[in-house]
Amino acid sequence: MDKIKVLIVDDSAFMRNALKSMISSDSDLQVVGVACDGVEAIEKVLSLSPDVVTMDVEMPKMDGLEALRQIMAKCPVAVIMVSSLTVEGAKTTLKAFELGAVDFIPKNLSDLSINIMNIKMMLTDKLKQIGGRKLRPNSRPVDEPVQYSAPINQTKVVRFSSSSKKMAIVAIGTSTGGPKALQTVVPLLPKNFPIPVVISQHMPATFTGPFAERLNQLSQMQVKEAKQGEKIENGIVYIAPGSGHMSLMKKGTDRIISIAENAEYIYRPSVDVMMLSVAAANPGACLGVILTGMGNDGLKGMRAIRECGGRTIAQNEDTCVVYGMPKAVVDAGVADKIVAINGMAGEIINSI
């Protein structure tokens, strides 16, 4: 197989060398070039045709966001942002997702000598999963409304749940590529959506609050970051905070949010933790949705939703940034339906 070609864009010589060393250590990856500013990045994307780009934000001549905007207009390619784990870094990264970036890696590599194996594994896994798909994403200008259009072959029916119960909650899980996917789905849910929606998106704690705020600005439904001990209400979308794992607990007729640690689950916030609790609290009356992402987080939860009599939907391969989490669900025979991302909101509405 051909190696996955990577372009590194960063104004720091230390970061360029650190990233190059980690990437070059993997035999499936090849660093085809480096750039120290946005202008040079655009030139090298056009001349080198990389499969994936790592993009810094703060750079001279042209910053990473403007470079990303121009790259998506001239020669779209998969871009992974190199972001600081701060609130401002989160806001910048979310803006980058809206411009077409597919994922991010942490800028803070100060603990490189201590945690180098974990950082290297995270970086190389993302590059191989994302770059290996030879992704050429379509970008959508910031604040341009999402329009629903039914794609060809948007839905594949594997089987349909025999549940006759009315759905009481929607649970959505996602990871790599999820911010863009959620910005395609959630804004299309109507203001009068009759039940609550809970979402676990793998994200650091500093990112989930700004992400909920941004999604709220784009959506008809109210979107908020979930809080410990609050009662979930109909018509509200709850984003799991990255500070722990979100689950639901029954208290009388109420469903209460709990945020807690659980060493058994490595992905944070865990989709499985959320969906397992949703199935337990709403047997036969829950809809599980699994979107783009690496790994298999969500498989246990989607199976539990299916086995309790609920319904399950998985994103199709063609529209995933990484077909990992949905693939695990589909391969296990747990998906009732397989749906393209631009048909997902309509399918959710029809399924409740």
Residue 334 sits in a domain of what CATH number?
3.40.50.180
Mean local confidence (pLDDT), 279-291: 96
235 & 118 share domain: no
Quote the pLDDT of residue 71.
Answer: 96
For the segment 211-222, what is each residue's pLDDT rounded down to a tens digit?
A: 999 999 999 999
Quote the pLDDT of residue 152.
Answer: 33
C-beta separation of 291 from 319 below 8 A = no
Report yes or no on 290 lying in a domain. Answer: yes
pTM: 0.87
CA dihedral 88→92→95→96, nearest 10 degrees, is: -150
State how far the Cα of 273 lies from the Cα of 91, in Å rounded to an integer: 27
Quote the pLDDT of residue 132.
Answer: 80
198 & 247 share domain: yes
- What does the DSSP 8-state code read for residue 316? -
Quote the pLDDT of residue 108.
Answer: 65
Quote the pLDDT of residue 208.
Answer: 94
Give the confidence band of 252 by pLDDT, cuts at 50, 70, 90.
confident
337's enclosing H/E stretch is strand 337-339
Looking at 131, 147, 165, the residue that finishes a domain is 131
202 & 265 share domain: yes
41 & 181 share domain: no
Burial of 231 (0-12, 13-18, 19+ CB in 10 A): exposed
Residue 272 phi, psi dihedral angles, 5° rounding: -60, -45
175 & 282 share domain: yes
Nearest to 271 by CA among 240, 306, 238: 240
Question: What CATH code is carried by the domain that includes residue 31?
Answer: 3.40.50.2300
Quote the pLDDT of residue 1.
Answer: 63
Q: Is the pLDDT of residue 115 over 80?
A: no
Report yes or no on 141 lying in a domain. Answer: no
Encoded tokens for 146: 């999402």
37 & 103 share domain: yes
Tell me how many domains the chain contains.
2
For the segment 79-96, what is each residue's pLDDT rounded down to a tens digit?
A: 999 887 777 888 899 999
Report yes or no on 146 lying in a domain. Answer: no
**% the chain with pLDDT above 90:** 74
Quote the pLDDT of residue 165.
Answer: 67
State how far the Cα of 231 lies from the Cα of 190, in Å rounded to an integer: 21
Question: Taking the CA of residue 164 as centre, how many other CA atoms within 13 Å lie in the half-sphere pointing to its CB?
Answer: 0
196 & 285 share domain: yes
166 & 81 share domain: no
Q: Looking up tokens 């896994």, which residue turns up?
A: 125
120 & 258 share domain: no
Asked whether the CA dihedral 227, 175, 278, 346 is positive or negative, the reply is positive
79 & 161 share domain: no
82 & 165 share domain: no
Range of the domain at 188: 155-351
**% the chain with pLDDT above 70:** 88
Q: Which residues are catalytic?
A: 175, 202, 297
Greatest mean pLDDT range, 78-92, 124-138, 196-210: 196-210
85 & 165 share domain: no
Quote the pLDDT of residue 116.
Answer: 63
State how far the Cα of 103 lies from the Cα of 105, in Å rounded to an integer: 7
